Structure 1
Amino acid sequence: MQKDITYHQPIIKYHDGHFIEQTDNIATEFPLTLYVNQQEFATIVCSPTHLKELVLGFLASEGVIFRQADVKDIHLDDSKGFCHITLNRDIEQHYGHYTKRMISSCCGKSRQFYFVNDAATSKVSMTTTKITADEIFRMMKALQEESTDFKQTGGLHNAAISDGKDFYIHRSDIGRHNALDKLFGYCIQQRIPIRDKVLIFSGRISSEILIKASKIGVGIILSKSAPTDLAIRLADDLNITAVGFIRNQSFNIYSHSERII
């Protein structure tokens, strides 16, 4: 049975000179350990929703799988926090040697392997998609309206994929990478081509997020927050349009502005 993304915690709130007993909504933090071909592969600290999507998206972004057909079986035991994945091939033959890793929700541990396979799994965008300013504002508004769990807890990242018009799917997670992996996994499950899609994101566009977007294959990333300098340089190199500070009928275009019309 899938766990809840939030739980109710009794707290004491101080407000206007008074202590008040009440209940607060807290984001659930859930460790999920992945075993690939019976070998321990990684532990992801995540929100306990859409876990199969998360597993598929994570393995695809790491270059372990390329399509749904690469996976023979996924057995998820979310009561104990384990997921056993059997591939249709030997991971060692096609991808080299892996060791156990802890991937935290804040992504702080990701730097230990961040540059190992980025060159092999990142993609230079070939998208020809173009979007208007009105579509940018509409998509960001839709993301914020869908972010009900964030409004309750203040502790989740939100992301969505759209074609700029009709297609729209939203996912939340305590880990910003995880939210993107869930979207990637959903598209793999549904066999949805991603190259012409737009990624809408609630948080800062860091270099890690830009790399993750390139691994997914999108050509446009929209955020209500700021990018980092390295993210901008990577976006320029990988032919990705990065748009930030989308708020109050204003935004900044940091790279490949030709896609915004």
Structure 2
Amino acid sequence: MQHAKPTLTQVSAALTHEVEVVNELGERYLLSIPSERALTVYVDKRELITLMTLGARPEWLVTGYLLNQRLVAGVEDIASVTVDWEVGAAAVKTRGGIVDLAQKTARRVVTTGCGQGSVFGDMMDGVDQLALPDTRITQSELYSIVNAIRLQQSVYKSAGSVHGCALFRGEEMLLFVEDVGRHNAIDTIAGWMALNDQHSAGKVLYTTGRLTSEMVIKAAQMGIAIVVSRSGMTQMGHAVAQKLGLCAIGRATNRRFLCFSGAEHLLLQPELAASPVRVAA
């Protein structure tokens, strides 16, 4: 049975902004920096939270945020997401309201994400009930993912100061998202997956940021069993990954990586570590 999809606006904003800078030699020139704008989310006319974002895909971001916070069970619970950048607001209309919204949002946790992500306390509950698919990744596929990210055109390359997340199926990149915080980028991917009926089996999530408990829990709630990062991992993120059996791979650059947990998902090919790095056009 096909579930009803929400009606979405399409109001992406400029991702960079030019400013004048002065360098150590006294030279003045224009430099591109990432845009950052506040987006206040209203659910059924009630203010929920203000997200700081680049604004590339705000409707996907809001949808994924509601899903990852477990405020809605699925996209079929959302009737519409309307974003208006003139007032910096996203108005969400649900089909039947959110039961106990005040109770669910009463306890807020400020996370370690760049841009100070925040999650509601209930998100931390029920982790033990999450079941992940038996997804596997070969060392060769891991190297291809790292190389694909290296070649990806991005705001980071032109302006810096942002984080990126990408969704892969094998060596194929399905989606690449950047935002001021990695928590926004992963929520945007969650929204895209739900809106496009993308199943989690066989998918791998890549992030440029460190693997915190928030990132691990959100990945697990999306049903993703393998997460790769070019950065490291926190103690709480490691504890949650171990409990879930999630494969967390960090420090993934060139031919180097560290598998912090869930090594049974990784099919090692150590002979590849000594081979030259493949350079694609």
TM-score scaled by length of structure 1: 0.90
Does residue 1:187 correspond to 2:193, yes or no?
yes
Give the AA of the match of 1:3. A
Contact 1:123-1:217 within 8 A present in 2 as well = no
Which of 18, 28, 39 pairs up with 1:8? 18
What is aligned with 2:6?
none
Instruction: Give the deviation of 1:126 after TM superposition.
Output: 2.4
What is aligned with 2:89?
82
Give the AA of the match of 1:192. Q
Secondary structure at 1:53 match in 2: helix
Contact 1:147-1:172 within 8 A present in 2 as well = no
Secondary structure at 1:178 match in 2: helix
What is aligned with 1:214?
220
* Unpaired runs of at least 5, structure 1: none
Does residue 1:62 correspond to 2:69, yes or no?
yes
Shift of the 108–167 alpha-carbon distance from structure 1 to 2, 3 Å rule, reads closer
Which range moves more in the overlay, 81-90 or 125-134? 125-134
CA distance in 1, matches of 2:118, 2:142: 30
Instruction: Give the deviation of 1:79 after TM superposition.
Output: 2.3
Aligned length: 256
CA distance in 2, matches of 1:223, 1:143: 11
Secondary structure at 2:215 match in 1: helix
Secondary structure at 2:136 match in 1: coil
Does residue 1:40 correspond to 2:41, yes or no?
no
Which range moves more in the overlay, 100-109 or 187-196? 100-109
What is aligned with 1:110?
118
Shift of the 243–158 alpha-carbon distance from structure 1 to 2, 3 Å rule, reads same
Alignment of 1:151-230 (within 5 A): 151-230=157-236
* Unpaired runs of at least 5, structure 2: 1-10, 268-281
Contact 1:125-1:219 within 8 A present in 2 as well = no
RMSD: 2.3
Spell out, residue by residue over 1:168-194, the C-alpha distance to the aligned partner (whole angstroms, 9 max, x if none): 210000011000001001111111112
Instruction: Give the deviation of 1:125 after TM superposition.
Output: 3.8
TM-score scaled by length of structure 2: 0.84
CA distance in 2, matches of 1:83, 1:51: 8
Alignment identity in percent?
Answer: 24
CA distance in 2, matches of 1:204, 1:45: 19
Instruction: Give the deviation of 1:137 after TM superposition.
Output: 1.2
Give the AA of the match of 1:5. L
Give the AA of the match of 2:18. H
Contact 1:57-1:182 within 8 A present in 2 as well = yes
Give the AA of the match of 1:59. L
Shift of the 125–250 alpha-carbon distance from structure 1 to 2, 3 Å rule, reads farther
Shift of the 100–239 alpha-carbon distance from structure 1 to 2, 3 Å rule, reads closer
